[in-house]
Amino acid sequence: MWSFQAIERLGFAMRLFWDSFYWLIVGRRYKQKVRLRQVVEQVRVNGFDALPIVTALCFVVGMMLSIQLLYALSDFGAESQVLLAIAKSVTREFSPLITGVIVAGRSGAAIAARIGSQVVSQEIDALKVMGIVPVRYLVLPPLLGLMISMPLLVICADFTAIFGGAIFSVHKLDMSISAYLVESFNVLVVGDVLQGLIKSVVFGIIIVLVGATTGFYVTGGAEGVGKATTSAVVISISFIVLADMIASYFLTQ
């Protein structure tokens, strides 16, 4: 029974993804175009508003990596490699993963709660009666918003995480912060940054589709909305970690 429900919801999420881009392309023809103002608002809510917590946590993670790597590499006399290890691990792995988890907790829950409450109050049916396609109105704007804002958040997270590593490492490496940052950016290649940006877009799609699917399947009134928000966060993070593992395997071959 559980497996059938999982397959059904996976199919529903794929249908939401397809319908979203369908209405993005043909919406103007049927007077269902997505408004730029809606997308910009989603970029602000899901991106700009999440920037302080994302940068703060990535700064701490950069310092943590510096502490652990300096300790581990000191046994081999390779402390100078800390700079390379932090720069590549942050851009390839930690920044997109941490950003995805934070946004899943903020935006995934919000999307599920918003759609779930509208399902319970029958607002979805009212939208259909008014001739408004629910997918175009409720799913497409946050989907586009996160596909735009997630890479921007990851770029900011990369900078702050590398800076956090510099704060702890410079006195051990006998370098200035400016020299550390310049050397960090020199050792990075386009593929390192691009890998994190690709992951961030995938994570954004996962967050929206899981949150929307969970919201559309809400039953049981207000209690159901609460359960849906919890499920959306847990499922989103689980799929993000799984997608991160798969993407890391294929992008490093």
63-115 tens-digit pLDDT: 999 888 888 877 777 677 888 888 999 999 999 999 999 999 999 999 999 99
DSSP 49: G
List, as one string, the DSSP characters of 52-100: HHHHHHHHHHHHHHHHHHHHHHHTTT-GGGHHHHHHHHIIIIIHHHHHH
> Which residue range is the domain that position 168 belongs to?
2-251
Which pTM was predicted? 0.92
**pLDDT at 220 (0 to 100):** 79
CB distance 111 to 215 below 8 Å: yes
Structurally, the chain folds into a number of domains equal to 1
Q: Which of 214, 21, 8 is nearest to 133 (CA)?
A: 21
Q: What would the pLDDT profile of 171-205 be if each residue is shown by its tens digit?
A: 888 888 888 888 888 888 888 899 999 999 999 99
